[in-house]
Amino acid sequence: MADVALTKAELAKARSLGKFIQAWDPKMQGSKDPVFRETVDGDLAITFDVPIPVRDGTILRGNIYRPRDRLNEKLPVIFNYTVYGKDGGVDIALFPPGAGVDPGRMTKNYLFEAADPLWWCNQGYIVASIDARGSYMSDGDKSYYSRVVGLDGYDLVEWLAAQEWSNGKVALYGASGYAIVMWLVAAEQPPSLAAIIPIDGMTDTYREMAFKGGIPETQFREVWEWSITEESLLRQKAFLDTYLLGKQTEVQFWPKVRYAMREKYYTGEWRYSSDFPIPETDYQKLFLTPSQSVSYVQQPSHHKLSFDAKTEELEFKWPIREGLEFAGHAKMKIWVEVQGGDNLDLFITLRKRDKDGKDVYFPWLTTVDTGPIGFGWLRTSRRELDEAKSTPWQPYHSHQRDLEPLKPNEVVPVEIEIQPTSCRFRPGDYLVVVVSGHDYGEYPKGAPISRHTDTVNRGTAFLHFGDKYDSYLQLPVIPPVQHSYLHARKPVKMSMVASRVTGWSDKKFLDEYTNKHAEMTRKIAAEVPILRHYTQLVACPHVEIPGVSNQGERKTVWDCLTTLEWTSLDALGGSFHHPLYRASAGSHVFLEEADSIGIANESFVDVMFDPLSFEKRTNGALLNVMIAGSPSAESTVLEQALLQRASDMRSACAGTSVLRYVLNRRVLGGKEAKEFFHDTPFANGDWSTITAFEQYWFPSEDAAMDFFASENRRRALTVFPGGFDLSRSVFVLGRENIVVNKDTST
């Protein structure tokens, strides 16, 4: 027994008993009245219904499992402190196949969510399973997760450590309910408690289960489920061997944090970190767009979307272009309003879809294999934050009061925690964030999953974003490795503006360019894997850009601007020597090649204003701007000019019909460019005048004209920072014709 002086009054204060709720009668589970007895069962020596007094005299009862062939040794004790029944209150046969509980991988003595006595005794441990106060075979009034549970646990740990068969070291073990009571015992710091293995155990049952975001949970609170694997058991054994037996094991080499980077249901990889949250986390904000996507650029003007507060939902979809990984705390800030009601229960889910638009599922609790990536909940009247406990990545709500009901036309901000999660996306996948007024999915009423049927929702909910309403999703992005191939080895583009062969009609030129030359390039690209992308800007018939008359110093009417992309500059140069290319080079002339202007370039800034609309575009328009450099400008001046230009155009394009803007910089010029293109069909082109290349994507030519209708936007487009020369620059607007596209990131 513990030598702790607590008066009866103090013990009474430690109790936290609410109204009595009838739980399962142990006899309904096949339990009989407790009878102290000893038996031998195969490799085990078992003592059942051992009476153990705690400090106030209440008798708790447990089963002690010892390895039969080591009865004369003092061994460490693994303690299953249970609210489920030490004799097996939950039958694993009830679990559906999707739960991942494999009866062939556990012994006949296995206890649901606890240490398997036969498995652990065979590893050199004693296992003690003891019913908590008021549970199954133990006396007293049941006190769910109050301090008295921890105080009882203190006494039980010290009792186990003092037995003649114990080496004095005790470990607590278990999942879910076992883990919850484990935290309470550990908080009391019993001297003989050497280690704990808590698995999926809540530390704040109000916020994490009973009232998520202040919304009452109505189904799951009476049942918790979990399953175990051999991989997990072997890690647990190494851990306990270290702290209970003093052995040298792999544990000394374990990093502080291990987490799973998940891709789908039970597919992913283990990652390691020195701390959590993961130190290198890059918290990125994704702002909502009118097309129901998300973007790194906030909308400059106000928008709002609505949904039936009780039955409907809003879905925001983000196409992933370069891959994405996140792990940790996510959150969502949204500005909301309700008409026809005065409060809102908001449900957030993060979901994944593959390139074909099919949902990708993840394990949820124990019995569900169709879960999303992550969840968030909040009742609007409980939006008040505890500023001292909140962090930039995790809003912490005080939950001490209900705020005043929402008034008609009142728009309020809410910050919603999305519980820690992780996911990896490949190019072509979609991240989907759903805002709704109801639970995720449809499941049977008796299923042991979280449900919230008692909501306050009625009327129509409105979600506001843009301008002063900074609604966004924040993700804990794990950045690529330093000097990653993704960022250090950017693709190289060869972009050329040119005019048709003199005398050709529109029809003749279009056939030669968009049909014959396009098909020839497709065949080459099929044989030359390093040629990744080919886009034609078709400026025939010619389209005048309102207020923009510059066509370069040659005053030429340009018919097309061709952009081809290779994996690298070396790959571009190497393709000139490919047999298929050399056999076709110069065989199809459709341009006045001596008058062409070109730039070998790579991306400097890439801004995606509307990812979803960009992906869906079918008859898109392109504006390409070839920006000439001032002859006297130094490289440092050009670098600053690029940065200024990118900033100016990001601001000018935000909230307009521009879907995407890319500013590219030259990677090859002057004598170097002349040598590079020597003995190729491009040798006679001008590769030195242009120092930067801009690409603007629009959903249509009409949308482009809407953009040019603004005098401020035209001015932003044609006023260049120092280091650039407007008089020699070229502006070309036309139809986008994608000939080759091997990468979703392009």
Residue in the block written with tokens 């000439």: 628
Strand-pairing partners, residue 177, are none
Surface-to-core class of residue 184, CB atoms within 10 Å of its CB (0-12 exposed, 13-18 middle, 19+ buried): buried
Is 575 in contact with 621 (CB distance < 8 Å)?
no
CB burial of 81-102 (b: ≥16 within 10 Å; e: otherwise) equals bbbbbbbbbbebeebeeebbbe
Got the DSSP string for 173-193? Answer: EEETHHHHHHHHHHHH--TTE
**H helix intervals, 61-190:** 117-121, 147-162, 177-188
What contacts 632, CB < 8 A, 6 or more positions away?
A: none
**Cα–Cα distance list, 603 to 76, 157, 600 (Å):** 62, 63, 11
User: Catalytic residues, which ones?
Assistant: 517, 534
Residue in the block written with tokens 């002859």: 631
Is 398 in contact with 370 (CB distance < 8 Å)?
no
CA 737 to CA 662: how far, in whole Å?
Answer: 17
Q: Contacts from 702-705 at CB under 8 Å and sequence distance 24+?
A: 703/621, 703/657, 704/621, 704/623, 704/657, 704/733, 705/546
Strand-pairing partners, residue 302, are none
At 616, the amino acid letter reads K
CA 695 to CA 704: how far, in whole Å?
Answer: 13
Nearest C-alpha neighbor of 314 from the set 340, 343, 294, 284? 294
CA 141 to CA 135: how far, in whole Å?
Answer: 8
Strand-pairing partners, residue 622, are 697, 734
CA 394 to CA 414: how far, in whole Å?
Answer: 13
CA 4 to CA 1: how far, in whole Å?
Answer: 9
CA angle 86, 92, 97 (to 5 degrees): 160
